[in-house]
Amino acid sequence: MRAETRHQLKTDAFSRVTLGAAEKTAHWSVEHRNTLVAAAIAVIVIAAVVGGGWYYQSTQNEKASFEFSEAVRTLDMPLRPAGTPPQPEVPSFASAKERAEAAHKQFQAIVDKYPHTHTADMARYFLGVTAASEGDDASAEKYFRDLSEHGSRELASVAKLALASLEGSTNRAKDAEALYQDLINHPTASVSKVTAQLELADLYKTSDRPLDAKRLYEQIKRENPGPEAVQIATEKLTELK
């Protein structure tokens, strides 16, 4: 568990740097979105290693994976300051919504052209992410729920994390709590127990349940002696005072 915790936290940090964070969505904080994207990147890495590099098992998957990388790159493109005209040599977007819409079209094209590939499943997850960024909560929930019920174990856990975050931000704290508890009880390589615990503790904070949040942060500190988890939990406890 300790090694898993260190691995998950380092993966989250690495993914935040390499992928970058799109501007916060209408409902998700930057912190929550980064966690979700980082978990998705973990799925890609794990599938490539454990599955023997499924991106390249077929010509279809190879083509799909290239287009997928282009769509993810779109999500990381910079935003122009208001009133600044576009520059052809430096791709950029006028708003986070515009960027999400462009990426959404790219992910949808992957699903349409390569529907039976593993890459298409990852594209479906990011269709949910971009739909949330566009403010379309209903569509985002549908993508996440479908994957949480029918996706591979690793991808389903990431989809549950995203679904819980969405439910928590749309006044369904009880439903979100149930999903986080399920992830805590059934951790995966993509969504570790400590990741789900931290998200649940944040839900308690935003739901005006500071004592429950404090209890969970203290539990994280007891169960995870590694510096990363302890540091995060300590900082969160300080914020509660």
Q: What is the pLDDT of residues 163-172, one digit of tens each?
A: 998 999 889 9
Residue 123 reports pLDDT greater than 70: yes
Which pLDDT score, from 0 to 100, does residue 12 have? 41
Residue 50 reports pLDDT greater than 50: no
Confidence band for 150, pLDDT divided at 50, 70 and 90: very high
Confidence band for 37, pLDDT divided at 50, 70 and 90: low
Which pLDDT score, from 0 to 100, does residue 224 have? 83
pTM for this structure?
Answer: 0.76
Residue 94 reports pLDDT greater than 50: yes
Cα–Cα distances (Å) from 135 to 14, 117, 129, 141, 238, in that order, read 27, 28, 10, 11, 32
Residue 241 reports pLDDT greater than 80: no
Within 8 A by CB and 6+ apart from 174, the residues are: none
Which pLDDT score, from 0 to 100, does residue 29 have? 39
Residue 5 reports pLDDT greater than 70: no
**Residue 4, both tokens:** 């898993």
Residue 40 reports pLDDT greater than 80: no
Which pLDDT score, from 0 to 100, does residue 219 have? 94
Which pLDDT score, from 0 to 100, does residue 175 have? 96
Confidence band for 36, pLDDT divided at 50, 70 and 90: low
Task: Tell me which of 30 and 90 has the higher pLDDT.
Answer: 90
Angle (nearest 5°) at CA 128 between 8 and 9? 10
Instruction: Please write the tens of the pLDDT for every residue from 211-232.
Output: 999 999 999 999 987 788 888 8
**Domain boundaries, given as residue ranges, for the chain:** 2-170
Which pLDDT score, from 0 to 100, does residue 117 have? 84
Share above pLDDT 90 across residues of the chain, in percent, rounded to a whole number: 38
Burial code (b: 16+ CB inside 10 Å, e: under 16) for 160-185 equals: bbbbbbbbbbeeebeebbebbeebbe
Q: What is the Cα–Cα distance from 78 to 87, expressed in whole angstroms?
A: 12
Q: How many residues does the chain have?
A: 241
